[in-house]
Structure 1
Amino acid sequence: MPELPEVETTRRGIATIMPGQVLEAFIVHEPRMRWPVPPDMAAKMAGQRVLSCGRRGKYLLIEFAAGTQIVHLGMSGSLRRVASDAPRLRHDHAEWVFAHARFLLHDPRRFGAILWHDAADGPIQDHPLLARLGLEPFDPGFTPDYLHAALRGRRQAIKQVLLGGNIVVGAGNIYASEALFKAGISPRASAGSLSRPRCAALVAALRETLTQALESGGSTLRDYVDASGQPGAYFALHAAVYEKAGSPCPACGTPIRRIVQGQRATYYCPRCQRR
């Protein structure tokens, strides 16, 4: 699914256009998504000026004076800019119409979401979907000491803890596999067993992995495209272990292995990531 780099790439794309623009219309073509699209949302947004385009974890946050629209891209969704007269595709479920721009949310599986948080209900960070999220990976507070303390006593495999999102956000399936390889940590290692030096290696590896992905516009996972409709290229070119089962490890030549953890595929080098 689109992870932090893909969502941040999309945010950066819409943030160059939406802020300062008045929304002429928000049109819902299919309200049956992960949660039903609130029927009164369009009326609350119409004629409102976009104040900012933010992100928390994998949620896009489009801020208006009246409140904030929360957008999740689901498993294979995308939010892209199209021409004013472009035909709507089969799985384009919602659109944002501005005087000089038009955006469509494409979500074939309808696992995404479009929700509304009224400004009168308090800070957007207090919304139930956001309140329990962990630190952003580039937050200054995401340090080796923070990670070591957060993992203390946890018996679950470190890969699964990273995917949980309540300690750090953005370490999705692809990026977690890649970061653990860079850090030399087995995806099956007990999270609580990681020493401070290994936590330091993991913090650095996760930031490096996500930075590289951001610089390249995200991955080519499934049909992900950015806000301009362009596919990302990072993992098509640079993945060290993800989807490389049987291929030689780029560091030692040992064949990469694939296992399943929590119904998600994990790829790792059994030699470089022995513990």
Structure 2
Amino acid sequence: MPELPEVETTRSGIAPNVEGRAVAEVVLRRRKLRYPVPRALLVELPGQVIEQVERRAKYLLLRSAAGTVLIHLGMSGSLRLMAAATPAEKHDHIDIVLDNGQALRLRDPRRFGAVLWLSGDPLQHRLLASLGPEPLSEGFDADYLYQRSRRRKQAVKQFIMDSHTVVGVGNIYASEALFRAGIRPQLAAGRLSRLRCEALVAAIKAVLGLAIEQGGTTLRDFVDGGGKPGYFKQRLQVYGRVGEPCLQCEKPIKQLRQGQRASYYCPACQR
């Protein structure tokens, strides 16, 4: 699934080519995605100028004066900029055609993605209103995480993956951040000291920042807005390395299951 760094990589890739451009038409090939694509999108978006491309959590927001296009890439979706005349393939469901002959094309093989048309403040939409702070924002700091974790028996890995705690810390990045912070994934969140919260916040910011810089994680078929794969997978320290030596102490990396997800950690470096 495209995570926050992958979505941010897509946003930064398409924004310079989309912002300030008018929408010529919307081509809809398949309406039934995660939610039905609203017909108002086909009527109200054409003629509008895309003023800004933003990201909130794993959602992309294409803002215009008339409303906002909210896009989620689902499990394996991608949003690419290409010539509108490029023949559509089987899983190319929607084109937002621009006035310069280019198009934003949503490809979504599993159809778990979403394209919605929102009026009013998009941040108050039900999909966004209850989300936690952005992990790279000033609002996500040690004080916040410490207060939020008090009396929580939930394992710390699941705690930081909860989008109500903080957005965008997916399975890969949670494992990597916990390794950097020296914290075992099964530790109860309520047992985090303020000092360990500082280390964990710093680790989350560092891991996500590096992933964005590297272009995301190459897993399955993720590509950025230009169709290029991400490269952060080359820098993973524990994720997917069960049985391999820890890069710090050379002890074998272990794996456990948490909430139907695989967690990877070093039993010597993390406690």
**Unaligned residue ranges in structure 1 (runs of 5+):** none
Distance 1:91 1:84 in 2: 16
Secondary structure at 2:140's aligned position in 1? coil
Q: Identify the residue that residue 268 of structure 1 maps to in structure 2.
A: 265
Aligned partner letter, 1:271: A
* Structure 2 counterparts to residues 99-114 of structure 1, below 5 A: 99-100=99-100, 101-114=102-115
For 1:71-116, what per-residue CA distance to the aligned partner results, in whole angstroms no more than 9, with x for missing partners? 0000111101122322211111111111222121111111111112
* Structure 2 counterparts to residues 238-257 of structure 1, below 5 A: 238-257=235-254
Distance 1:20 1:254 in 2: 53
Distance 1:132 1:84 in 2: 36
Aligned partner letter, 1:87: P
Q: Identify the residue that residue 219 of structure 2 maps to in structure 1.
A: 221
1:89 partnered with 2:89: yes
Distance 1:241 1:161 in 2: 19
**Unaligned residue ranges in structure 2 (runs of 5+):** none
1:17 partnered with 2:17: yes
For 1:211-258, what per-residue CA distance to the aligned partner results, in whole angstroms no more than 9, with x for missing partners? 1101111110110000000001111x1000111111111011111112
Aligned partner letter, 2:60: L
User: Kindly, what percent of the aligned residue pairs are identical?
Assistant: 51
1:36 partnered with 2:36: yes
Distance 2:83 2:22 in 1: 17
Distance 1:30 1:128 in 2: 24
For 1:148-171, what per-residue CA distance to the aligned partner results, in whole angstroms no more than 9, with x for missing partners? 001111111111111111111111
Secondary structure at 1:7's aligned position in 2? helix
Distance 2:90 2:20 in 1: 30
Distance 2:112 2:57 in 1: 16
Offset, 1:265: 1.3
Q: 1:132 aligns with which of 120, 130, 133?
A: 130
Secondary structure at 1:140's aligned position in 2? coil
Number of residue pairs aligned between Structure 1 and Structure 2: 270
TM-score (normalised: structure 1): 0.96
Q: Identify the residue that residue 63 of structure 2 maps to in structure 1.
A: 63
